[in-house]
Chains A and B, each alone.
Chain A
């Protein structure tokens, strides 16, 4: 794959897009088709969810967008800042696990992307503290990751993804391992952050309820090889809150998304 295929040049008429995938496929080394062909356009500032069964390639799609793996064919295009671009600057990535360095403090974990980008220590610390404050962990900067709960670790991971002020936030089932109450709270906090920061968010999940609650668009994917089964727009009164979670419109959307998802599971003998 050449660098030109993922270049930051934005074509005329596509300036409102943050991410565009065209005919993207990914095959594993053993020849098994994991993904695609996939066509997806995400507008700037949009919050979309990729929803699908395990192994449908939604994480792979995220890794392709992050340029962690090259596509087997097709074009991945990202809109970035104009001018000199620092590697990774335009993208924040939150993994399924908190993926923190256990040997250093929370502040140093959050500062890592800046340290790798050559930002000075003083400025890096100040920005890390701001990012920690934005996820409600200002008091835990000096703690070590093992001293935090699962939900707090995930918040640290989120703060680290936000510390470079990226345009695009990629989240790979970030709250899957958390209990329901913690997950609901993090959902609300994530929505508040998204509203205040105006990032483009691509959120991978296997939970119908989470995807409908969070996103403006739910992209339902089929089982392997992952293709787009349905693209459902969720329209409701913004800002959303807990009342949306209990509304009739919410359960209506959940039913529609579940119906779109059902064929993806039909071929599988076990769930």
Chain B
């Protein structure tokens, strides 16, 4: 028994390391193959740029690209904040009154199932471009927050609810001390999805806006570079978008873990 934990720990430690090392090896091998293929076959950069060229473009065009990145990230953030507040507020409203829920929930679903790429051009007609882009990000991202929060608010332990009733808790007290904490893991799960989706919403709206607007987000850069056959810059912008998505997800997952680590099953180690 006494010798088992160190071995198990060593094994799980090695396993954890492999979970990071293996994808990196695959990534490096892929890049190497790509680079070699481009060089050996002498493929021109406007057909397929080598990874080294993409990195060079990223550095050379950093002034333009970083500004676009900031624009897209700001749009994403605004859409995310709007979706979080809107989704949670709407879920709380639904939870307080069944009539409001019955009246409005179908429209929330309609908004969710209508492809945003089809709504974006319409929004661009009626709204100012920057507003339209944020609204797109909001539309895509708010539904997971709404549905997860609703689920969470409805998953309160019955006995705990009975306990609050027994001690004469008021509605605001029950909401603050029972329903919201019980729903927190669900809300955080919804926010984690919403983070990635608001980036998608922002990108979709920028692409729909195309060159018509004065926008300068990363998606706009991709479209513009496409027209100019500046393929390395397209790849560089795509790389930045992808990294932004990973960082957004990572940050939200970390926040969720830090909030839940003391009590929720999802944030606890498998052994405890």
Per-position contact with A for B165-186: 1 when CB-CB < 8 Å, else 0? 1111100010001100110100
Q: Are A68 and B167 in contact (CB under 8 A)?
A: no
**Residues in B whose Cβ lies below 8 Å from that of A99:** 157, 159-160, 163
- Closest chain B CB from A259 CB (angstroms): 34
Judging by beta carbons under 8 Å apart, are A103 and B184 in contact? Answer: yes
A87 to B181, CA, bound (A): 23
Asked if B45 CB lies within 8 Å of chain A CBs, one says: no
B39 at the interface (CB under 8 A from A): no
A145 to B173, CA, bound (A): 21
Instruction: Type the 1/0 row for B231-271, where 1 means its CB is closer than 8 Å to any CB of A.
Output: 00000000000000000000000000000001110001000
The residue that A88 contacts in the complex, of B166, B181, B263, B268, with Cβ under 8 A, is: B166
Query: Is A117 at the interface (CB under 8 A from chain B)?
Result: yes
Quick check: is A113 within 8 A (CB to CB) of the other chain?
yes
- Are A144 and B167 touching (Cβ within 8 A)? no
- Does A66 interact with chain B (Cβ within 8 Å)? yes
The answer to whether B159 and A88 touch across the interface, beta carbons within 8 angstroms, is no
Q: How far is the CB of A121 from chain B (nearest CB, A)?
A: 13
Which residues of B sit under 8 angstroms from A164, Cβ to Cβ?
167
Question: Residue A39 at the B interface, CB < 8 A?
Answer: no
Q: Interface SS of chain A: helix, strand, loop or mixed?
A: loop
Interface string of B19-50 (1 = CB under 8 A from A): 00000000000000000000000000000000
Residue-wise interface mask of B (137-177) relative to A, using a CB-CB cutoff of 8 A (1 in contact, 0 not): 00000000000000000000101101111111100010001
Q: Count how many chain B residues have C-beta atoms less than 8 Å from C-beta atoms of the other chain.
A: 22
Chain B proximity mask over A244-261: 1 for CB below 8 Å, otherwise 0: 000000000000000000
Pick from A101, A116, A145: contact of B167, CB under 8 Å: A116
Q: Could you tell me if A93 and B166 are in contact, using CB atoms closer than 8 angstroms?
A: yes
Query: Cα distance A104–B182 when bound, in Å?
Result: 11
Cβ–Cβ contact B165 & A101, under 8 A: no
Q: Say yes or no: A97 contacts B162, CB within 8 Å.
A: no
Pick from B160, B165, B182: contact of A68, CB below 8 A. B165
Tally of A interface residues using CB under 8 Å: 25
**Contact A88 to B168, CB < 8 A, known contacts A68-B162, A99-B157, A102-B263:** yes
Contact, CB under 8 Å: B181 / A101: yes
A44 close to chain B: CB less than 8 A? no
Report how far A77 CA is from B160 CA in the complex, Å.
25
Any B CB within 8 A of the CB of A268: no
Residues of B within 8 A of A102 (CB): 263-264
- CB interface residues, A 96-131, toward B, < 8 Å: 97, 99, 101-104, 112-113, 115-117
Q: Which residues of A contact B182 (CB under 8 A)?
A: 103
- For chain B, what secondary structure do more than half of its interface residues adopt (helix, strand, loop), or is it mixed? helix
Q: Which residues of B contact A115 (CB under 8 A)?
A: 177
- Among B173, B184, B262, max chain A CB count under 10 A is at B262
User: Inside 8 A of A86's CB, which chain B residues have their CB?
Assistant: 168
A-B Cβ contacts below 8 A, count = 57
Task: Report the bound CA distance from A118 to B173 in whole Å.
Answer: 11
Among A67, A93, A112, A146, the residue within 8 A (CB) of B177 is A112
CB of A91 within 8 A of chain B?
Answer: yes
Which residues on the B side are within 8 Å of A87 (C-beta)? 167-168
Question: Within the assembled complex, what's the spacing in Å between the Cα atoms of A63 and B163?
Answer: 11
A209 at the interface (CB under 8 A from B): no
Q: A86-B168, A87-B168 are in contact. Are A116 and B157 (CB under 8 A)?
A: no
**Mask: chain A, 174-193; 1 = CB below 8 Å from B; 0 = not:** 00000000000000000000
CB distance from B259 to the nearest CB of A (A): 9
How long is the Cα–Cα vector from A86 to B164 in the complex, in angstroms?
13
Alpha-carbon gap, A43 to B20, bound state (A): 68
Inter-chain CA distance A95–B166, complex, in Å, is 12
Contacts A99-B157, A102-B264 given: A91-B166 contact, CB under 8 Å?
Answer: yes
By the criterion CB–CB under 8 Å, are B168 and A144 in contact?
no
Q: Which residue of A lies closest to B169 (CB)?
A: A116
- Min CB distance B133 to A, Å, is 37
Q: Is the CB of A112 within 8 A of B167?
A: yes
Residue among A99, A103, A112, A144 facing the most chain B CB atoms (10 A cut-off): A103
Q: Is B159 a contact partner of A97 (Cβ separation < 8 A)?
A: yes
Known: A68-B165, A95-B159, A101-B160; 16 extra A-B contacts, CB below 8 A, are A86-B168, A87-B168, A88-B168, A91-B166, A95-B163, A99-B159, A99-B163, A101-B181, A102-B264, A103-B181, A104-B181, A115-B177, A116-B169, A116-B173, A144-B263, A146-B272
Q: What are the 4 closest A-B residue pairs judged by CB atoms, nearest first?
A: A87-B168, A88-B167, A99-B159, A116-B167
Could you list 30 examples of A-B contacts with CB < 8 Å? A63-B162, A67-B166, A68-B165, A87-B167, A88-B166, A88-B167, A93-B162, A93-B163, A93-B166, A95-B162, A97-B159, A99-B159, A99-B160, A101-B160, A102-B263, A102-B264, A103-B181, A103-B263, A104-B181, A104-B263, A112-B167, A116-B164, A116-B167, A116-B168, A116-B173, A144-B262, A145-B263, A146-B268, A146-B272, A164-B167
